[in-house]
Structure formats: structure tokens, C-alpha cells
Structure 1
């Protein structure tokens, strides 16, 4: 540090201040001190620490120092993000720091952090206070962290996706080998930069000079592609890192655990971004780059679709189908085992790339799904993001785990992620391409989802109508006036309902007039044209297909066709104005594509919503309650009824009045009192047994005698395992729901809403969202239930209490990482509100997880210094 930096950092203290600070930080560990160092190539470039005092343990004194050469490169911000996370784990509520009034850099560092900053000025110095409450949920802070991470990610990906030079390590003389194939494709694809082969065993590869090592190259490449045996990968990666390579694509598969660790260690130690291992390669079709470093069959056509796949085989199939269809690619990345670069990185890259307006993904696992969902929610409002929903079955998940080391993801969890992120999930590569064709070529329908089907053969029109309805679309009846006009415009015998049967006698003019009338009627949002070849349409001027080819392809409504004589599952018809009209060979394909377009239209019609707020909750009291329980039971367990009631009250969750009676006499007195509040003068006794909800063994009572019988029966049937009974007033009739929370190590808390009781178990009617819920999520969850028509009122205002309960459960699950399981139910929805009659909550010792914290290599100080 320069003299000026030392004066600013240590407020003009003596020259020994840095030495004394180093002694303080490197001394024996102390619980009140937490310090972080930032190293680059083994050199300490930044340090940040906080320290608490015994008299005020919830406030910490903060200090930050960054080497002069590393100013304005984000080191201080990154260290502060980690300190915020660490302080929250330790119960610190605020940072405080002293700075000189003229230290503009540190004041800007605090201001840009994204948290509130309070300053008190005194004689040339400033006392800064940064409250940390809400750092995990404050939208302004999360956006600031997200933007810093996005900027850093984009800069780090440039060496991979826009390199000026590439070296292929392992390119051999053997024709058809992976290394030589990639080398040839880079060269023959017209790469605008420099490309070299590295192979110590030969002087030439594919008619190009071969160099024995990276050091022998004319210049150090920005990107290295590794096609070497698995045993050679760690050494090759370390050689690349030491030489100064910035990006690595590892095509090699079959790395064992030790080789994988060494590969990652080298990439992290030398700040190299990594694609793979087990990757097919990458491609960038920008004319200024033209890099094709993959060993698929054909060169990817330039275009506007960003493609990322985890399976190389899926990647080859997808590129071939897109090429046949004529949808070009902006960027292609085969993620392979996805040790580093992920779909989240690529979504951010495509978001900043003006050439990309469609993203196609094939993912078998998720590294940081909550950060992925947050990024995808933003990106999907710019352009469609489609994915193949791989691993839906248990067998599929086993295959994914064996294939790409992918963690098994339950279908309900994956569906929640896709839904919240606005991602269109398809069931196969074929469906992905079919849906992409419609979204690529045609405008979105209106959010109503009203479809008009027009056919020249009634049978195919009926099949298409059925497929559309089964896909969740709507075929409205046509108004009388419109039907009248259609009848006059079409041949005799035409059907003017919906579907519209123009008859085999119709020519192109009939179909064109019909489409014009439907488009301008305001009755429908999309047009589906079903055409069957007939002898009546044999002449060139009689074929109704001419209405699509010679008529306007760009209409206000999306237009698509079904051609059952078409060999390909999907293709494009090119209209006279150059517009593309997707044509499908099967009615179900067009229905699923239209349903996806309709779902996207509905998503875009909803305003982008921030996290749902719960202003009157008390997370501090909730955390104190959980900490108290874990102090008594370090291994965790189920909360007792009294603690459950107190915890739910922290989030204003409406639990019915309950008395926990440990003996028969108390149960009788409680039931006698609570019967006065119960529906029909009844109370409910539920045996309290550790490990199961009370509602599973409940009995309604109307008298003292019935109460005694119920108490004795529950005690006798349990074999002494009951710890008393819970007594509550009987709830008025309503719709019984159940709300669950499941804590996932990777995905975080999942909130599930479903129909309660045996009927709910039988029908499996449930919806799920990842916590925290956004403002629009509770209403969407309720609307998606098949049981929604059973509610006493379906007006949003009348369901506000249920929405608020869902937000409360979500906030509780987000605030308390120790909450591993919760079950509320029955949750009774009535015309006068919502009431939870029973609950089960399990907590276990766990530290908070911050999904938005940038992931860096973390090592002990001694190892880093060494």
C-alpha cells in the first residue's frame, strides 16, 4: 500500500499500523473476530474483517483494505458481500466503521453495496453504520449483488465465447480423433483469430504445425481446448493456468474424483473459466469470431438461438434439427459435467448479446437453482427460454446421475423452478424444436388462449380441436354475425362453428377470406389451418395452401398449419412477404406449441413482481425460539405444540385456539370451554404423539363423557406414546387444504399447496413454488389447484387470507434455515377467512445459505499464505 492508501486506511496512524493489524488478524482464532483475505496467483490483494465487542455483540467494527493495483476491480465489494453473509450467520445486526471524510473510495464502496448507510460526521472523520437486517431479502441489495456478479461473469466468459486465440491440446495425427476433428472445425469454420495444435509427439496435425507445449507457442492463447486422456487432464490444466490461459474447454470424459479435484483446483487457482469436462465443445457464430470448437457433425448455422446442453448427444440432435428447420445459432455450449460454467452464466451472456433472441436449454441438474430462477425471471421477459424437462421419472433421474453426475431433482421441485422462472418446459427434443419454431416465427397470442381451427376436412379439424382443448386452450363459439359472414364467403355446406369446415371444395381465395374475417373479428387469439390434399385441389390455382403462401404471413394473430401429408414433424412455409408460418404433421404438436405460447403470453401480461412482503412478522423472535429449542436439543427434532403455536404467531399464521392437556381432568375442562367456540357446540381432541400430526388421530366430542372416553382411548391405543392431547374448537365446514414446506440442500425451501385429507392424497392435487414467493405466486398457486372451484368465493379479494398464509409460510421457511419440514393442515378455507387447525414443524441445526453469494474458493489462511 502506498503512503496515501495507508493514511486513508488507518486514519493517519503510525507506520506500524499495518503491521499491528496483520498481527491481530493472524493471531490465534477468536470467536469475536472474522477475517477474509483475497488472493490472486498466491498474492494477497485484499483483506476485510469485522470484530464484535462483548458489551454489544450484535454490532461489529468493520475494516477493509485493498492493494493499490487492485482498486476499482471489485475486490472490496466482493469481500464485503462475504462479510455480510458471515455476519448474518453470527447474529450481527449492523456494521460500523470509521473513515476519513475525504476517503471517497471507501464511501463509494459502502454506498454501492446496496444496503442502507448512515453517516455521522465529526472533525474530518465519518462514523459509518450499515444495518444488515433484511440483507437476505432486500430487493435493492439483491439487485446490487446480482449486477456485480453479472458484470464479473460476462467479463470472465469473454475468453470462452469471444477468444482471439485458441490452442487445442491433444490434437493427434489420427484422422477422426476428437482432437483433430475439433482442430479441423476451428480452422475450416473460418475462425477469425489464431489457432494452434499442441502435441509433443508430432510436428504436424491436419496440415498445421504442432507445438510441443504452450510455452513454445508464438503467443499464450486465451482459450485452450483439452482433448487429452483423463490421466493427463490435471497436468494439462495446470500448464494452461501457469501459462496465463483464461478459458478451458475439457472434452475428456471419465475423470475420477482425484482428477476432478485437481482440475478444479487449477482452474480456481489461476482464474480460468471451465466448460466441461465431458463436453462436446462450444461454438460462436458471430461473424467477428466464427469459432466452431466442437465435434458434432455439421457447422452450426449462424442465427439468433442460444443453445446450452448438458448431454453431447442431445446437443448433436438439437443442432441437426435446428439446422434442418433453418433456425440458426448465436452461441452453442455443451456444458457436460458442468464443473463451472452453467446455464445461469449463459443466460446472462445471452441477455447482453444483441444477436440472441431465443434460448434453448437441456439441463439434467442445477448448481444454484435459486440464482438461476432469479436470472431466468429477468431474461424470460426479454425473449423465450425453452428447456427439455429431462429426468421426470425416477429411472430418468438415475440415468442423469450416471450420465453427467447430475443430482436427482424431484419433478415437483423442477416444475416449480420452471414455472417461477417463466421457462417453457417441454417433454422431448422434438417438442422443444416444435415449440421453438412457433415462438421463433410468429407473434404471441393474447392471454385469453382462444383458438380458431379452420380445415378443409372436418375430421382433421375435429382432431385438432380436441388436441387444443386437451392442451388447455379454448375454442369459443363464433358470434352469429361472424358465422353469417363466413357462410356467405365459403362454399355451400361449409361449417361455420369452431372448428370452421371450409369443405374440400374451397380454394385459396375462400381460405384467405375466411382467415381475414377471423383475424379481424376480435373473437380469437390464434389461427390454426388444417389442410388435407384432395383431388379437388389438384390445380395450382385450386390448392388452398396458396392462401398461406401468397397471402400475408405477418398477421396480428399467430398463424400455424397442420399438414398431415408432411413428412417432417415441423417445417416452415414461406409467405410472400417473407414471413415464416410453422407447419406441423400432427395436431398434438401444434396444440402443445400453442399452449406454450399462450402460457408465455400470460406470463408477460403479469407485471414483474418482487418478493411478497409480510410487514407484521417477527423473524427475530422466531429465530430466538428456534435457537432456544436447539440449545435444549442440539440434534433438533419436532417442536412441541406450545412452541409451534408461538412460532406460527411470529408470522401471524392463524392457528386455532388450542389447549395442550397432559391429563384427563385438564382435557375435560378445556373441551368444556372450547365447545362454546366450536361449530355445532363441538370440540376436537387430538392425541399428541411425537413424529405425527395430531389431526391424524382426532375425535370430535360433544360432552364431558365423550371427552373422557376420547382421552382414555388415545392413551390406550398409543401404548403410552402420547404426551397428552390437543383440544381445540371444531371448525366450521370449508375446503380443507394442506400446506407443506420441504427444505432442499440445493433448491432451498419448497412451499406446496394441496387438497387436504384422504381425497388430497388420492388425487395428488398440489402445486409448488420455491421460497421466497413473489407477489404474484400465491394467487397463481391457488388458481392452479384443480380444487379451486370448491372455494366459497373465487374472487381474489376473498382469497386474500389464504394468499397471506402462503406468504407467511414462505417467509418463515426463508427466515429459518433450520426449519427442515413443516406441515400445516387441515387449513380450512371458509367464507369468513382461513384457519389452520393443526401443524407439525421440525427443526435441525443448519447455517443460512445465501444463494446469491458469488462462489469462490475458500481456504484457511495458512494454506493461502503458503
Structure 2
């Protein structure tokens, strides 16, 4: 508290209900924390209706003395809690939450409903990376993804996931076997599973042969397995056993629609017996499509089989559990050891920029800063006048690119602030004079020019950082160049990144196939891109004064990568928050 509903503990040694709720939830192995007292009342009532057992319920209110992070630590050590549920409206200390959740999630699943997805409160930003990350919920998604937290969209979905993970193991893969006594629900279930990223494989030859031997001739034994409406409880028993033994299947969804002769209670009893025999090797979910809801046999059995009213709900819960199972199955994330970092030199560059006042680093400073962290910045020179630009081109040699420098000039290409494939000092000098006149006529009189060596063609991406006041440095990777705002294809993680984080970020992009040799093009050096992400993350962790950083575009080649354009904005680091509510 203050401003909370109170607490409940169903531990037999405690038996405490210090709430205003008219009901006490049944005892069980789920810990629940809510930031909303009113929702807490509904949660306790709904848990009773589902027969969902609670070990502890805590309404945290304004979190003056106990925070959600404290509760995670408590539930980690609590032998009476196996699953943790959270309703969050805000974070106190999200980086601390991430550290604790990564540790707790290895042994106990954490599922969350986080409200406040609206972009209304997003702050204004002036960089491409800031525009991609602001006004969205991607930062919270990134935190949960990295920490192995299961994010659900609704409270109902949260309960669906909780019922599954409280009584069944997370699946070891994404392959689902569907058993039904009617074709339509089986098809709906298959569609919902695939929409959620699950797979519906054909059953093995042996499993299909065994099913043909026990089911009516009209039954379909591929997947979904349609036993047809005449299926008896014994048909369910044999089919569950055969499908569960198929090595092509990681999880089962068993659907029952009440026909005239077969009773739901008898089918539920068979399910419980078969699930007991599986001994938690594979999760089994049931769908009883009936106005009477879940049979009491499933609610009260010692071995609970989670049950849902519709196949789509079962598919969503199973998909959330499968993603959690994949995360838990990976080895613990370790930060890489990066070589060749010149941290003191980088800090001096930022300090010099801040001494001039808050704002953007010069192109020369930005390039030097990135080079301190081993990032592949293209060879470049900064010139104050067209004549100096011509001399810079002669120093660099070969073909060069010319770019205008002016306060507020972000979209250089559209405004005529970029010229490519120039050669020789005289051509560059003349191009700089023309560019200066053009930019001045459009309200951006140039303060200088950037002359860069031309780099080979490649896939253009954006790599960047925004320093979020709550979450700290947020690293982004996405489609770059002129496609940034058009495609808005971006993946985000919180710094510090691990090698696993960098790999996932790149492979999550819709444009990732362009890096692997799309339509006969040569494959790009994905490892170089991943290393660049790790080095940018390290830079952002070391230098909290970096408010925004854009490497756009970073051009990825068959071998190596090159940062063609970079912008960095620095601000004084914020002091630690004053004492107050628990964080």
C-alpha cells in the first residue's frame, strides 16, 4: 500500500485474508500481484469460479513499502508458489525487474498483463531511432522477451496461461497434436495454432496405423485426428495415448463436443487418467465446447487438465507456454567480451560535446566516438567550405559522397543534401557550392560538408539507441536508409545485449531474408551486423549521456559492414531518483 485491496495467504500455517474481498480464493500454487485494487476483487472472484488455487494474492497499491520486484524475490523462494501472475500499470525499476525475472523465470514461469499500451504519452524525438521506438509499447515487449516473461493481452488470457502452467509442463517444442470428435472445431484449432506460430505436423506412420486399428473407418487419422461424433470415452483414451507417444508431437489439444450419447463427465475422467499416466512428459489441454462449461471432474481431480471453452483460447495459451519453454530451454545469457574498446577516449569526446551545451555531436565527433568502440565507420573528412571539401576529396581518393551539414537536417536525400559517386577535387568543390545554394534556399544553410569514401552496395539497415528515462538504453535494429519510416521494420532490446539478443534481433526483421541471399543476391555478413549491435550496446551502457544514436544507414556487405551516416545526441546523465516508493 497505501491505496490497495490488501493481501491473502492460503498457506495452512497462515490462513490470512486481509482484504475487502467477500471471498477467499481456493488454496493453490499461484502467486498473484495486482496494481489495481478494483481488479483484485474481480481476480479473486474469477479465480474462485475457475477453481484456480492461489498461494498468495497481493494488492500493491502505491508501493510505498513493497514493490513488485520484492514480491518476485519472495515468490522465488516460496515453496508454495509454482507460477507467478502480475497485473502491472507501471514499472518502478524496470532494469531491476529484468534482472530478477531472468533468474526467477528459469524455475517458475512469470505471466503478466501490462496496461498502458497507448502511444499518447510518448515523448517527442528527433532521430530515426527515437521515432521508431517512441509512441509504442515495443520497449516493454523487449524487456519481457529478454527476461522470459510471458506477456498476455487480457486478464482472461492471463488466467488461461496460468491454468496451463500451474498443472502442465511447458511444451518442449511447437508441434501440436489435435484430437476431436468433430471436424469443424479441429480445423479452427489448427488455424489458431498456426496463426500463433505453432505447428500441426502429420502424425508418424506408426501412429496413424495404430489409430486406424482402433477408430471407426470414417475417422481421419492425420492431424487433426477426427474420431467423428460416435467417439466413445475409450476412443478418447486410445487416441490420447497413441498421439502422446508419437515423437512428432510436443503437446496435445483434446476437443469434445457433446453428442447425444457420450457424456462429458466420462470423457473428462478418461482424460485425467491418461494425463496421469503421461507423468508430465507432454502438456495436454482440453476444450469442452458446452454451455455447461468445464466438467467438475477436471476442476477437482488431483491431476488437473486445463480446459477452455473454445479452441482459439487453448491455442493462444499453448503458444505463450511454448515460447516460454523455448526461452527456458536456452542456456543462460552471457554478455560477450569485446576487444579494442577505447572507453576513456570515448568519454572525453562526449564530455567535450557536453561542454558546448546539450545537443548533437558534430559528424567528426560522432565518427570518432563510434570508432572508439570498434564500429566500422567509413573513412570521412569534415570540410567547412566547398574549397575544403574539394581538398578532402583529393585526400580520400577515388569516388566519394558529399553530404551537407546543417542544424535540423535529418532527411538529407529529399532536400538535396546528398551527392554520390563524385570524383576529383574540382567536381566535389562545384557540387558543394551547388548544394550549399540549394540547402540555403530550403531553409537549411549548411555549416559544413561531410566528404566520405563511397562504399560498395549492400543491404541498408539502421542500428541505433534511445536512452529511455525508465528503461535505460534501448537498442534498435531495422530496415534502414530511406525505408526507415516507410517499412517501420524494427526489432528492439534493452541494453546490455547478449549474443543471443543480437541474433534474435536480426532474425526477427521482416527484411532479414535480404541478408541471407534473397532472389539470388549474395548473402551478407550477418555476424558483422550482430557484432555491431553488441558494440553499440556496450557504448550505450558505458555512456549514459548518449540520449540518441543513429547509424543510418549501416550497409552490410558480403564481408563486413560500414556505417555510412551517424548522428549522436548527448545530454547530461540524469541523477538517481530521490528516496520514495519501493523500486
When the two structures are superposed, what TM-score results if normalisation uses the length of structure 1?
0.61
> Which of 496, 513, 520 is 1:789 aligned to?
513
Mark the CA change 1:743 to 1:530 in structure 2 (over 3 Å): closer, same or farther: same
Paired residues of 1:455 and 1:503 also in contact (CA < 8 A): yes
Instruction: Confirm or deny that 1:460 pairs with 2:185.
Output: yes
Structure-2 separation of matches of 1:558 and 1:461: 18
Q: Does 2:104 match 1:379?
A: yes
Deviation at 1:847, TM superposition (A): 5.0
SS at match of 1:345: helix
Say which is worse superposed, 555-564 or 426-435, in terms of deviation: 555-564
Cα offset, 1:773, TM superposition: 1.7
Q: Equivalent residue for 2:420?
A: 700
Q: Does the 8 Å contact 1:573/1:581 carry over to 2?
A: no
Change (3 A) 1:639 1:482: same
1:691 pairs with 2:401: no
Q: What is the RMSD computed on CA atoms of the aligned residues?
A: 3.0
- Structure 2 residue matching 1:444: 3-state secondary structure: coil
2:145 to 416, 419, 422: 419
In the TM superposition, residue 651 of structure 1 has moved relative to its aligned partner by: 0.6
1:443 maps to which of 156, 159, 169: 169
**663 and 531 in structure 1: CA distance in 2 versus 1, 3 angstrom threshold:** same
C-alpha distance in 2 between matches for 1:673 and 1:458: 74
Cα distance between partner residues in 2 of 1:687 and 1:376: 47
Structure 1 residues 674, 543: closer, same or farther in 2, change over 3 A?
farther
Match of 2:318 in 1: 594
Work out whether residues 204 and 246 of structure 2, in 8 Å CA contact, stay in contact via their aligned partners in 1: no
CA contact (8 A) 1:506 1:544 kept: no
Retained in 2: the 8 A contact 1:325–1:571?
Answer: no
Question: Among residues 66, 72, 76, which one is paired with 1:347 in the alignment?
Answer: 72
Q: Aligned match of 1:638 in 360, 366, 369?
A: 360
Relative to 1, partners in 2 of residues 1:539 and 1:748: Cα closer, same or farther, differing over 3 Å? closer
SS of the counterpart of 2:516? coil
Report matched runs for 1:280-291 at 5 Å: 280-291=5-16
* Deviations, residues 85-105 of structure 1 (Å, cap 9, x unaligned): xxxxxxxxxxxxxxxxxxxxx
Pair 299,481 (structure 1): closer, same or farther in 2 beyond 3 Å: closer
Q: Report if aligned partners of 2:459, 2:515 keep a CA contact under 8 Å in 1.
A: yes
Shift in alpha-carbon separation, 1:479–1:790, aligned structure 2, 3 A: farther
In 1, distance between residues paired with 2:144 and 2:543? 24
1:334 aligns with 2:54: no
Cα gap change, 1:286/1:506 in structure 2, threshold over 3 Å: closer, same or farther?
closer
What residue in structure 1 maps to residue 331 of structure 2? 607
Distance in 2 separating the partners of 1:396 and 1:589: 31
Give the secondary structure class of the aligned counterpart of 1:835. strand
Name structure 2 gaps, 5 residues minimum: 124-133
The verdict on how the C-alpha distance between 1:315 and 1:507 changes in structure 2, with shifts beyond 3 A counting, is same
Contact 1:817 1:848 in 2 (8 A): no
Is 1:659 aligned to residue 376 of structure 2?
Answer: no
Whether the aligned pair in 2 keeps the contact of 1:741 and 1:822 (CA below 8 Å) is yes
> Alpha carbons of 1:282 and 1:463: their partners in 2 closer, same or farther (altered >3 Å)?
same
Instruction: Tell me how far 1:566 sits from its aligned partner.
Output: 4.4
CA distance in 2, matches of 1:352, 1:571: 34
When residues 585 and 308 of structure 1 are mapped into structure 2, their CA distance, relative to the original with a 3 A threshold, is: same
1:822 aligns with 2:549: yes
Which residue is equivalent to 2:438?
A: 717
| Structure 2 partner of 1:840 | 567
What are the residue-to-residue correspondences of 1:402-417 with 2, within 5 Å? 410-417=136-143
Which residue of the partner structure matches residue 274 of structure 2?
A: 551
1:618 matched residue in structure 2: 342
- Work out which of the two has the higher radius of gyration on C-alpha atoms and give 1 or 2: 1
After TM superposition, give the deviation of residue 511 of structure 1 in Å.
2.7
| Partner Cα distance (1:564, 1:339) in 2 | 45
Instruction: Quote the offset at 1:755 in angstroms.
Output: 1.4
Give the whole-Å Cα distance in 2 for the aligned partners of 1:491 and 1:711. Answer: 82
In 1: Cα distance, 2:551 partner to 2:30 partner: 44
SS at match of 1:306: strand
Residues 599/353 of structure 1: CA separation in 2 closer, same or farther (3 Å cut):
same
Looking at structure 1, the residues matched to 411 and 263 of structure 2 have their Cα atoms a distance apart, in angstroms, of 75
Over 3 Å counting, the alpha-carbon distance change for 1:348 and 1:793 in structure 2 is farther
The answer to whether structure 1 residue 804 and structure 2 residue 552 are counterparts is no
Matched pairs, number: 559
The question of whether the paired residues in 1 share the 8 Å contact of 2:462 and 2:477 is answered with yes
Q: Which residue of 2 aligns with 1:47?
A: none
Deviation at 1:617, TM superposition (A): 1.1
Q: Could you list the runs of 4 or more consecutive aligned residues of structure 1 that deviate by over 6 angstroms after TM superposition?
A: 395-398
Mark the runs of 5 or more structure 1 residues left unpaired by the alignment.
1-275, 399-407, 677-681, 858-866
Where does 1:210-229 land on structure 2 (aligned, <5 Å)? none
Q: CA deviation at 1:418?
A: 1.2
TM-score after normalising by structure 2? 0.88
